[in-house]
Chains A and B, each alone.
Chain A
Amino acid sequence: MIELSPELALLLLTLLCAALFVLGVQIFLVFGLWAVGFHALSPGFPVSNVSVLAFSELESFTYVAIPLFVLVGDLINRARISEEIIEFSRACIGWLPGSTGNTSIGCSAVFSAITGSNAATTASVGKALHPVMDREGYDDSYAAATIASGGIVGTVLPPSVLLIVYGVMYGVSVPDMFIAGIVPGIAILIGLVVVNTALSQRHDYGMDSSEFEFQARRVLKTAWEAKVGLGTIVILLGGIYVGLFTPSEAAAVAVFYILLSAVALGKITRLEQVVSATFTSLLLIGVILPIVVVAVAIQQNLSYLGIQDAVSEAILSLGEPWLIILAMMVIMLATGSVLASVPNIALTVPLLTPAAMELGLDPVTWAIIFIISDAIGFITPPYGLNLYIISGITDIDYMEVTYEALPYLAMLIGVWSLFFIFPELNVLA
């Protein structure tokens, strides 16, 4: 028998986990095996740690916001309030060339400002608008790519579940991050609209946009019709920004608000609608939070073994700020492409934060820069969750959507670099 050195065993374990991921094993199990295996390889740091984390990592009042935000989004769907939001988005930016494409991007922004979830947004906007775009003559892969790209706005624009996870893990103020996400979120939104408008004009996609002439009256009228949905945004974000509520409290208030108003307006009529919306939100919690637990266990092992020191010192040893920025960007793009978001936040952030601090970023500004990179990972292969979702919904080949998303990707990387190189652009951070 060949005796395995611990280092080699660690490497093999890592490769095994990567292979299991590609083979479609649940992400929780992939990272769970990595965590358990790591502990097994460091006898001084026993695996019972994971059972402690299974409790202590979840003991956070802030996490309560996650199921509640998602529940609000789901109730809005079930109450069919999302259609009003689509009409409102169309009234606002539907008059530009590439009308429906822009509508889907705008709709993603509004919708994600309610649910805090970009994947939910991608799925609902995709189901509602992809067929419409198809009928209007958009290339169907391009339409899918547009929706997948629009779906990432929600990660950066508040509220955002990933910002909550980041805030709880690293002790950064969630309300501060929500504020700091506004400017980059809107910049991303504008960037995507610019790309879609230009491409739609060039390829003559979509209906004649003159059909959707811009009328202030129409904006007001659709805004009024979408009052329940928009009112939710006011409660959610307004209450947090004014300092009236913590994110979890704002979410609880929004749940009551949406339930009362939807029932009063006859949009929710059956208990089952509420029950099944809650089930969806519970499933989500049951999927994400166990991943948080095992990802943190891995991070603690890496700390314990001192691995990260080597990596973060190597980055700092580059010396020149522009080289450090470049190295950080390459690492963020790479990890965002291969890792699911929660593990990416747990594993990559500690690696890069010393360098970010060295560059003089404050924790909130840096958090947003990292989250944008994480969001970009939703449309980068090999693991681009939004591409994957939309490809599932539309039955279009994954790589085809990926290819069509390249112009959006280029724009996103551009916006991201701007905020990284000139952090003062984020005036609200």
Chain B
Amino acid sequence: MSAPILVLEAISVAYGKVEAVRGVSLSMLPGSIVTVIGANGAGKTTLLNAAMGLLPANGRLTFGGTALHDHSIEERVALGMALVPERRELFGSMTVEDNLVLGGFRTAAAERAQSLAQVFARFPRLEERRRQLAGTLSGGERQMLAMGRALMGRPRLLMLDEPSLGLAPLIVRDIFEIIVGLRKTGVSILLVEQNARAALQIADHAYVMELGEITAHGPAAELAADPQIVASYLGLGAAAD
């Protein structure tokens, strides 16, 4: 087995005196899909934001063998990390194509053209709307654009924060199929989801987060069969699925 691509050791993040994430450790192998599931407010988003450098965190963070401490967001992007945040953070008054091209800001022009063709092949909908302003897209299209923009940077690790949030079930299914397809290209995916059922179906490994701490982890299939997890997370999820 190769060395893990991302290792979090005893990560804590505090907003003032409130600790949103307490001593979280997590490790993921290259090319795998790892999911962090948990209820709203469990600290999942905070954890991702800390990994990307949006928030200051205590603890040790290693990406691809590089220890990250005061690396800025931009430096983490340069190392091959990408975050698709919950709010997407698109450039609303710019076209779909410009949004994508900017995703490849740090890559060479020739590589950018190639990545654009690949992204359009993966998301034909974006190609249809390439001249449209990003702010006029539907929710599902925005999520696709946010993922496409992240992929333009050719990341080694793609972190997705609630990609299914606010989307219709049919589109959620599309998005998850795309995530599975992405894994085949070799990119590692860290997926934070409230939709635990869908996330556990596609993940290799899963972590359960409650009130800022990891309360369980293991192979996704095992967790999906764990009666306690089924009761807390999948029982309700069945109705939404």
**A and B interact:** no
